[in-house]
Structure formats: structure tokens, C-alpha cells
Amino acid sequence: MAMAVIWTGMVVVSILCALATGNGAAVGGAALEGAGAAVDLCLSMAGVLCLWMGVMEIMKRSGLSAGLSRLLRPLLGRLYPEFARDREVMDCISANVSANLLGLGNAATPLGIEAARKMSRRRPGVACDGMCMLVVCNTASIQLIPTTVAGVRMAAGCQSPFDILPAVWLASALSVSVGILAAKVLAKLWRD
Amino acid sequence: MDAFFTMLVPLIIGAVALWGMARRVDVYSALLTGAGEGLGVLIRIAPALVGLLTAVYMLRASGALELAANALAPLLTAVGIPPETVGLMLVRPVSGSAALGVGAELISTYGPDSAIGRTAAVMLGSTETTFYTIAVYFGAAGIVKTRYAVPAALCADLAGFLAAAWAVRLIF
């Protein structure tokens, strides 16, 4: 229901603001433009998604993802206690975390999606604790080298575009920690 | 080092393929099986993205973000965040490309080495497009009840923004 409330809220706020500011025509056009942009986005990520799910399949069949998940088990087992013994889920999460750390956001998304799909088999339609944790860990970016931002800074004439790295790492670490803490606390408090 | 990062993707794919061959896996048929499943995932994600982006585009066109930015500016100054970055913070969770646009604008207007330019860059580098991620993951997994995923993810975003402003002050 959370998404339903947020979505309806966004639409209603847009309409009210459009009426107040006289942007009515722009909002009318934007609604259709947004729907089209969604399909463009899907098509633009189609190739990458298929490619990385293919690579994941090779990793799975050759035992590479199992090795990766043995390496990350001490950490991930604590974050996802309910799936600690589920090999398939842990393999996908490990690959997702590795891709995130390498700054391969394009690869991390398909791998994370695979993990979410496998997690949902236990309780279809409901986001279990593990899935909430997965979403939080993927929305709080943990990339080590933010190349896109560095590119923007360089374009603006910056001599040392990577001098923000320590600040990015500090902020990312804090954001991920708060997210994980919030997820763990809410898992205990949430009533549904 | 630069060459390594630009070659990272092909190197990973190559290494995985070689490892698979060494383990006598039919690498190519595995690749095609996985890629085929990717198409099914894509079809489940599309509706979620159509819904989300329609609302996001409407919100951007309506001027609601500017109104909210003006209202929030005094609050941000109080907690140590440059008020100029408020537009970026509001756009960041809903649209990655719009956030990059707003961030690039701030960086070129105030200069990449100004406190505002640096804060904007760190905010971009340390957060993600939260609602897009939620829509994609939950869309693919067919989740209807999202429980506490949205509030927890927004907590992480908020912490990231605060930490970005503080880290820039601390380090520079």
C-alpha cells in the first residue's frame, strides 16, 4: 500500500500545484511523456539486463557464485538471517554486493532483481525482511568509484575530480549503516 | 589504473567465461538461458516504471519541487546543509537523470571546488534513485505489500544527504 499512497500523492500534488502555478498544460504533456520515457528506459536497460543475467547463469553453473557467497557469508548471513541457509538466494545477493562495490550499477540491478525474485517464492506478494534489507542496501549506494559524478566535475573545469572520494565514502558508509539499522529496527516494530 | 576501470566489464565477462570453460560448463548455452530469463524480468518491470515515471514527470512539470524547495530552505540551513542543494535532494530519490542534471547545474554555477559544488557531487555519489530501485525490484518480484521498505530506504537517503554536507565541511 505504501507505493499506492505515494503514487496517488504525487499525482494529486502535481495537479494541485499545476492549478496554483498555471502549469496545467505542461503537466498534461508530462504525464504522457513520462509513460513514454518508462518504455524507453526499459528498452535501454534490456541489453544490459539480459547480458548480466546470462553472465550470472555462467557463474552459477561453474560454481563461481557459490565461491563468492562463501567469501561474503560472515557478513551477509547476519544481514539476511532468514536466507542464510538458502544457497540460491545467498549466491545472488553476493554477486549483487560484489557488482555494487565495483561500481557496476548496471550489473548490480539484474543480480539484485534475481535475488528478489528468489526471495519472493516463500511469501508471494509480500516484501519479507530480507527483501526490505536488499532494497535498502541497493538504494543506499555503496560504490567505491563514482565515475559519473567525477565526469561532471571534470566537465566543469575541476583539476582533481576525484578529491571528493573520501567524503563520498564517508557519506555512503553512514547512509548504508543508517539504512541497515532502520531496516533492522523496523523489522521488529512493523505490524501488518 | 584508468585503463583497468574502463576495461572492467569486458575483463569480468572474460574471466567468468574462462573459469566456466575450465570447469567444463557449456558457457554459451548458459549465457543464452540467463539472457532469455532477462526478457521475462523486463516485461514485469515495465508496468512499474510506466506508473512511476508518469507521476515523476508530472511532479517535475507542476513546479511542486520548487515550492517545496523554498519551504524547506530555512530548515536545511539549521542542520548544516547548503540550502541551494534542496532541489537536488528532492529530485534524487525519484529520478537519476534529473538529479544528475540538477547536480551538474549546481556544480557549474557555483564551481566544482566550492562547498556547494562539492556537497552536490558527494550527494550524487553517495545516494541512489530510491523509488526507481524499489519499483524495479518489487515490480520484478511481484510484490504488492512493500511493508517498511520505503521508510527504511528514505532514512538511508536522508542520512546520506546530511552526511554529504557534514563530510564536505569536515574534509575541505
Nearest to B23 among A63, A110, A114 (CB): A63
pLDDT for B1 beyond 60:
no
Given an 8 Å threshold on Cβ–Cβ distance, is A125 in contact with B143? yes
Q: Is the pLDDT of residue A68 over 70?
A: yes
**Residue B166 pLDDT exceeds 70:** yes
pLDDT for position B112: 93
Task: Using a CB–CB cutoff of 8 Å, tell me whether A162 touches chain B.
Answer: no
Residue A187: pLDDT band by 50, 70, 90 thresholds? very high
Quote the Cα angle for B34-B37-B94, to 5°. Answer: 110
* Best mutation target, B54, B118, B161, to test chain A (most A CBs within 10 A): B54
Mean pLDDT of A5-18: 91
Give me the long-range contacts of B5-13 (CB less than 8 A, separation at least 24).
Answer: B5/A103, B5/A145, B5/A147, B8/A102, B8/A104, B9/A104, B9/A107, B12/A55, B12/A102, B12/A104, B12/A107, B13/A55
The predicted pLDDT at position B7 comes to: 80
Segment A87-101 mean pLDDT = 90
User: Quick one: average pLDDT of A13-27?
Assistant: 90
Q: What is the rounded distance in angstroms from the CA atom of residue B45 to the CA atom of residue A185? A: 29
Q: Who wins on pLDDT, B159 or B9?
A: B159
Considering the entire predicted model, what is its pTM?
A: 0.85
Count CB atoms within 10 A of the CB of residue B102.
21
List of residues 6+ apart from B120 with CB closer than 8 A: B85, B88, B103, B106, B107
SS3 annotation, A59-81 = HHHCCHHHHHHHHHHHHHHHHCH
Residues B43-86 pLDDT 10s: 888 888 898 889 888 988 898 888 888 899 899 999 999 999 99
Inspect the interface and report whether the beta carbons of B58 and A155 lie closer than 8 Å: no
Of A26, A124, A172, the CB nearest to B126: A172
- Comparing CA positions, the residue from A101, A94, A88 lying closest to residue A68 is A94
Task: Write down the domain spans for chain B.
Answer: 40-171
Contact A117 B41 (CB under 8 A): yes
Estimate the crossing angle of helix A2-21 against helix B130-141, to 10 degrees: 140
Selected for mutation to probe chain A from B91, B130, B133 (highest A CB count within 10 Å) is B133
Lowest average pLDDT, out of A83-92, A145-154, B25-34, goes to A145-154
pLDDT at residue B2 is higher than 70? no
pLDDT in tens, B130-154: 988 998 999 999 998 999 999 999 9
Q: Sorting pLDDT into bands at 50, 70 and 90, what band is B5?
A: low
ipTM for the assembly: 0.85
B156 to A176: CB separation less than 8 angstroms, yes or no: yes
A153 close to B (CB below 8 A): yes
Average pLDDT of the residues in B166-171: 93
Is A66 near chain B, with CB under 8 Å? no
CB distance B151–A131 less than 8 Å? no
Judge: B136–A175 Cβ closer than 8 Å, yes or no. no
pLDDT computed for residue B48 by the predictor: 85
Q: CA separation (Å) from A57 to A65, B1, B20?
A: 9, 29, 10
Q: Which of A17, A38, A102 sits opposite B67 (nearest CB)?
A: A17
Give A75→chain B minimum CA distance, Å.
19
The percentage of residues in chain A with a pLDDT greater than 70, rounded to a whole number, is 98
Per-residue pLDDT at A1 exceeds 70: no
Residue B147, SS3 per DSSP: coil
Q: Report CB contact under 8 Å: A179, B153.
A: yes
**B145 → chain A, closest CA residue:** A126
Lowest mean pLDDT among A1-15, A139-153, B46-60: A139-153
**How far apart (Å, rounded) are the C-alpha atoms in residues B153 and B143?**
16
Contact B54/A63, CB-based, under 8 Å? no
Nearest CA in chain B to A102: B8
Alpha carbon distance, N-terminus to C-terminus of chain B: 25
Give me the mean pLDDT over the A75-89 stretch. Answer: 93
Q: Grid coordinates 569536515 are at which residue?
A: B170
Inter-chain touch B107–A152, beta carbons under 8 Å = yes
H or E element at residue A132:
helix A129-139
Residue A140's pLDDT is 79
| CB burial readout A28-39, b (16+ within 10 A) else e | eebbebbeebbe
CA atoms of A129 and A139, how far apart (whole Å): 15
Answer whether residue B164 shows pLDDT above 60: yes
pLDDT digits (tens, 9 = 90+) for A24-48: 889 999 999 989 988 888 888 788 8
Find the range with the poorest average confidence among A57-61, A77-81, B5-9, B37-41: B5-9
CA-to-CA separations, A62 to A52, A95, B6, B12, B18, in angstroms, rounded: 15, 14, 26, 14, 10
